[in-house]
C-alpha cells in the first residue's frame, strides 16, 4: 500500500445547499441595502468561516435580543426561531428579515396547522440544537422530544388520538428511520409527514457518502463542529467501516490520518463553502495526492426566493 495519498475522491453533491445560499445572501443583501451593522440572531449557518466572513463585512451575531439596539435590522438564522423570539422582535420594532430555511418553515407551518386541530407532537431531534428549539418553540406545550430509540418509551402524551411526528431536517436518515419505526410501534395511529422532514440536501449528501465510502480508505468531512449535518456525514462513514475525520479548515488535517491510505474521500456539510474544500484538496495534494476524481451524484437545482425588501 502507498505510504502517501494517491487520489482524492470527491463526493457529489457536497457543500452549500439552497437554504444556506439563501441565508447568506439575505445577510449580504441587508448589509448592502441598509449598511453595517446588521444583527443576526444566532450563527446564520453553522460554519466558522462563513460567520467570520460576514462579521468582517459588518454582521453582528447575537443570541439575546437585548443585545440589539432600537431601530436595528435583525436577521433570523437559517435554523429558525421560536414564536416567543418572533413576537419579541416584533414588539421591539426591529426591521426583521427571516432567513429560516423554507424546509424548516414548512415543518413550523405543519406544527401550527395540526396544533389548531388538537394534535400533540413527537419531535425527533437533538436537544439544544437551535432548529429543534425553534420548532418546539412554535407551541407552548404538547411537543415531546426524542433523541434516540430508548427515549420513545418515555414519551407521555396527554392523549394518543391525535398525535403527529416531525423531525429535525439535518438528522441521519438511517437513525431517524430507526427512531420513526420505534415511534410507529408504540403509537401505531401516529400521523407522519406526507414527505419526510429530513431535507433533500441532507439526504443527498448522506447518499453520496454511502456511494463514496466503499471506494476510499479514509473520509474527510469539511464542516464546523456545530454543524449537525456535517457530523452526521462523518458518523455515517464510520458506520460504513471507513475511518472518518471532520475538519473546519485545511490546517486541521493531520498527515497521520492519511498515512498508508491511497484513496482519500472528501465531502462537505451543507454549510461549508467550496473554498474550504479546495483548501483541503491543496493540502492533500501537498501530502502526495496526484489525482482528483469526482463521483456521479444527484444534481441539485433547488433555489429559494429571497424575502420581500431584499429582492434585486
**In the chain, what are the domains?**
7-16+200-294 (3.40.1010.20), 19-101 (3.40.50.11270), 103-186 (3.40.1010.20)
Nearest to 232 by CA among 169, 298, 149, 295: 169
Q: Are 172 and 235 in contact (CB under 8 A)?
A: yes
Helix (H) or strand (E) holding 165: strand 163-167
The predicted-structure confidence for 31-56, as pLDDT tens digits, reads as follows 999 999 999 999 999 999 999 999 99
Burial class (CB in 10 A: 0-12, 13-18, 19+), 304: middle
pLDDT tens figures, 273-284: 999 999 999 999
pLDDT in tens, 87-120: 999 999 999 999 999 999 999 999 999 999 999 9
First to last CA, the chain: 54
Q: How many residues does the chain have?
A: 312
246 near 225, Cβ under 8 Å? yes
Identify any residues that bridge with 266 across adjacent strands, giving them in sequence order: 10, 220
Q: Which residues are catalytic?
A: 131
C-alpha to C-alpha distance for 82 and 129, rounded to whole angstroms: 12
Distance set, CA 309 to CA 18, 59, 102 (Å):
19, 18, 17
Residues 6+ apart with CB under 8 A from 252: none
How many angstroms separate the CA atoms of 101 and 297, rounded? 23
Tens-binned pLDDT, residue by residue, of the chain (312 aa)? 457 889 999 999 999 999 999 999 999 999 999 999 999 999 999 999 999 999 999 999 999 999 999 999 999 999 999 999 999 999 999 999 999 999 999 999 999 999 999 999 999 999 999 999 999 999 999 999 999 999 999 999 999 999 999 999 999 999 999 999 999 999 999 999 888 899 999 999 999 999 999 999 999 999 999 999 999 999 999 999 999 999 999 999 999 999 999 999 999 999 999 999 999 999 999 999 999 999 999 999 999 999 998 987
Tell me if the pTM is above 0.85: yes
Amino acid at each position: 500500500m502507498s505510504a502517501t495519498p494517491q487520489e482524492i475522491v470527491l463526493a457529489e453533491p457536497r457543500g452549500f445547499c439552497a437554504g444556506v445560499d439563501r441565508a447568506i445572501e439575505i445577510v449580504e443583501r441587508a448589509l448592502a441595502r441598509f449598511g453595517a451593522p446588521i444583527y443576526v440572531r444566532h450563527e446564520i449557518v453553522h460554519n466558522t468561516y462563513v460567520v467570520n466572513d460576514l462579521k468582517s463585512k459588518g454582521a453582528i451575531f447575537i443570541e439575546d435580543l437585548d443585545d440589539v439596539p432600537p431601530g436595528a435590522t435583525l436577521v433570523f438564522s437559517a435554523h429558525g426561531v421560536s414564536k416567543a423570539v418572533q413576537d419579541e422582535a416584533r414588539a421591539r420594532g426591529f426591521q426583521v428579515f427571516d432567513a429560516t430555511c423554507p424546509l424548516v418553515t414548512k415543518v413550523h407551518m405543519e406544527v401550527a396547522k395540526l396544533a389548531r386541530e388538537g394534535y400533540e407532537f413527537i419531535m425527533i431531534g437533538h436537544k439544544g440544537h437551535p432548529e429543534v428549539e425553534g420548532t418546539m418553540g412554535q407551541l407552548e406545550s404538547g411537543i415531546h422530544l426524542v433523541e434516540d430509540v430508548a427515549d420513545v418509551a418515555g414519551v407521555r402524551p396527554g392523549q394518543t388520538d391525535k398525535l403527529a411526528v416531525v423531525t429535525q431536517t439535518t438528522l441521519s436518515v438511517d437513525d431517524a428511520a430507526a427512531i420513526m419505526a420505534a415511534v410507529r410501534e408504540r403509537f401505531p395511529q401516529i400521523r407522519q409527514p406526507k414527505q419526510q422532514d429530513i431535507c433533500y440536501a441532507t439526504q443527498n449528501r448522506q447518499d453520496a457518502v454511502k456511494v463514496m465510502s466503499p471506494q476510499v480508505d479514509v473520509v474527510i468531512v469539511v464542516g464546523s463542529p456545530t454543524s449537525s449535518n456535517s457530523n452526521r456525514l462523518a458518523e455515517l462513514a464510520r458506520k460504513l467501516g471507513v475511518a472518518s475525520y471532520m475538519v473546519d479548515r485545511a490546517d486541521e488535517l493531520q498527515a497521520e490520518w492519511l498515512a498508508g491510505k491511497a484513496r482519500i474521500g472528501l465531502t462537505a456539510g451543507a454549510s461549508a463553502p467550496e473554498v474550504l474544500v479546495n483548501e483541503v484538496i491543496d493540502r492533500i495534494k501537498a501530502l502526495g495526492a496526484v489525482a482528483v476524481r469526482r463521483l456521479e451524484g444527484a444534481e441539485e437545482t433547488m433555489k429559494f426566493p429571497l424575502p420581500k425588501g431584499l429582492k434585486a
